[in-house]
């Protein structure tokens, strides 16, 4: 595995970081707790020492699963990355979505990052994760109802108390990042990025490069679309958020699969899966520091970790870029 420094900090994360959204089950149809724990452990054995989770993933379930998975592993060998600012248990801030929890009950999810809420959320996360500090603590989505300075004053206090090491953001644009930086040094921005979803390269990634903010790319596999295993007649489980997502409409699936067929011979040549080729390309993209990748089981987790062995030449990267362009991505 390779490790990269995050911003100006002394924190290093594994280039392939375990993304624990699907592990929480919520919005993914379901999860098998034991499979998720085995997936995290299998990744760790191959050097995936960084795990990204959030309280909202399964309303605490994902963090608890991570906590169970890391029991017995020396804490200084792990980097725990989690988030705050999405409340399903408090009706404050802006309503983000109406959803259902893992028991099928209706919940309202709010974007809220007021000072007391941030402090409270951190305490809850520490309990669920079974640890006394978080390596990187990130606001999950911008909260337009709370001054950015108030939110990061709270994180600053948590850093002073030793409960958090570094502050990051998710889904922030350059202007929001700049404002947050005035209160507390922000080391990273977690944003959506994949071969077929590169909108952040227009402004946000260049801002991060210029200001030494690491980019943690989430959904680099576009939620499974880039594995090549999704067909136009794919059946999603009840509660799977991908149903109805524009990327998973039959015409989008067909367009993506036609592109993947063009690059598959390169994957075969490298004795790699399509997923591994996609991840290899992602982590070489300018400005992308870390790829956050989910896995439902140990086999997928091992495959993700081994993507680090797929080395691409400049010509091979250019070939993929040319195919992306001609496919209309």
Average pLDDT over residues 181-207: 97
Concerning whether 57 is annotated as a catalytic residue, the answer is yes
Band of the pLDDT at 32, cuts 50, 70, 90? confident
Question: Which domains are seen in the chain, by residue range?
Answer: 3-223+274-311 (3.20.20.100)
Least trusted range by pLDDT, from 41-45, 100-104, 236-240: 236-240
CA 289 to chain centre: 12
Scan for tokens 């699969």, then name that residue: 257
Residue 257 is predicted with a pLDDT of 95
Label residues 64-81 b or e (16+ Cβ within 10 Å = b): bbbbbbbeeeeeeebbbb
89, with CB counted inside 10 A (0-12, 13-18, 19+), is middle
Band of the pLDDT at 247, cuts 50, 70, 90? confident
| The 106-111 sheet, strands edge to edge | 86-87, 106-111, 94-100
β-pair type (12-14, 214-218): unpaired
Across all residues in the chain, what is the average pLDDT?
A: 94
pLDDT tens-digit readout, 134-183: 999 999 999 999 999 999 999 999 999 999 999 999 999 999 999 999 99
pLDDT tens-digit readout, 84-140: 999 999 999 999 999 988 888 999 999 999 999 999 999 999 999 999 999 999 999
Q: Is the pLDDT of residue 25 over 70?
A: no
Q: Which of 44, 57, 207, 218 is catalytic?
A: 57
Q: Is the pLDDT of residue 284 over 80?
A: yes
188, with CB counted inside 10 A (0-12, 13-18, 19+), is buried
Instruction: Decide: 90 and 116 in contact? Cβ < 8 Å.
Output: no
* CA distance linking residue 58 with residue 199, whole number of Å: 28
Close Cβ partners of 222 (under 8 Å, ≥ 6 residues apart): 194, 195, 196, 197, 247, 256
Q: Is the pLDDT of residue 243 over 90?
A: no
Q: Is the pLDDT of residue 273 over 90?
A: yes
Residue 194 is predicted with a pLDDT of 97
Q: Is the pLDDT of residue 70 over 70?
A: yes
* CA distance linking residue 66 with residue 40, whole number of Å: 8
Least trusted range by pLDDT, from 46-50, 264-268, 278-282, 294-298: 294-298
Residue 204 is predicted with a pLDDT of 97
* CA distance linking residue 120 with residue 132, whole number of Å: 14
Does the model's pTM come out above 0.75?
yes
Calculate what percentage of the chain has a pLDDT beyond 70.
98
Residue 30 is predicted with a pLDDT of 61
β-pair type (79-84, 50-52): parallel
Instruction: Decide: 253 and 234 in contact? Cβ < 8 Å.
Output: yes
């Amino acid at each position: 595995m390779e490790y990269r420094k995050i911003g100006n900090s002394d924190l290093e994360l594994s280039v392939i970081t375990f993304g624990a959204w699907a592990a929480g089950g919520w919005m993914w149809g379901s999860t098998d707790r034991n499979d998720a724990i085995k997936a995290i452990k299998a990744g760790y054995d191959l050097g995936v020492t960084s795990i990204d989770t959030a309280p909202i993933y399964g309303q605490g379930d994902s963090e608890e699963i991570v906590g169970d998975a890391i029991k017995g592993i020396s804490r200084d060998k792990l980097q725990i990355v989690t988030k705050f600012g999405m409340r399903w248990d408090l009706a404050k801030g802006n309503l983000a979505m109406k959803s259902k929890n893992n028991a099928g009950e209706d919940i309202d999810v709010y974007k809220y990052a007021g000072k007391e809420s941030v402090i409270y959320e951190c305490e809850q996360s520490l309990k669920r994760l079974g640890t006394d500090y978080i390596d990187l603590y990130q606001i999950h989505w911008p909260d337009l109802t709370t001054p950015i300075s108030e939110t990061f004053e709270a994180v600053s206090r948590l850093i002073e108390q030793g409960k958090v090491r570094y502050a990051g953001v998710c889904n922030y644009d350059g202007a929001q990042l700049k404002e947050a930086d005035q209160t507390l040094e922000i080391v990273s921005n977690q944003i959506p990025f994949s071969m077929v979803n590169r909108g952040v390269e227009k402004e946000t990634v260049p801002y991060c490069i210029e200001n030494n903010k690491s980019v943690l790319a989430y959904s680099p596999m576009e939620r499974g679309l880039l594995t090549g295993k999704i067909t136009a007649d794919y059946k999603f489980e009840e509660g799977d958020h991908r149903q109805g997502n524009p990327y998973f409409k039959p015409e989008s699936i067909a367009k993506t699969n036609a592109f993947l067929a063009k690059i598959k011979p390169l994957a075969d040549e490298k004795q790699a899966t399509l997923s591994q080729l996609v991840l290899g390309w992602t982590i070489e993209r300018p400005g992308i520091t870390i790829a956050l990748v989910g896995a439902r089981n140990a086999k997928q987790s091992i495959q993700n970790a081994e993507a680090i062995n797929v080395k691409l030449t400049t010509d091979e990267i250019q070939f993929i870029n040319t195919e992306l362009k001609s496919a209309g991505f």
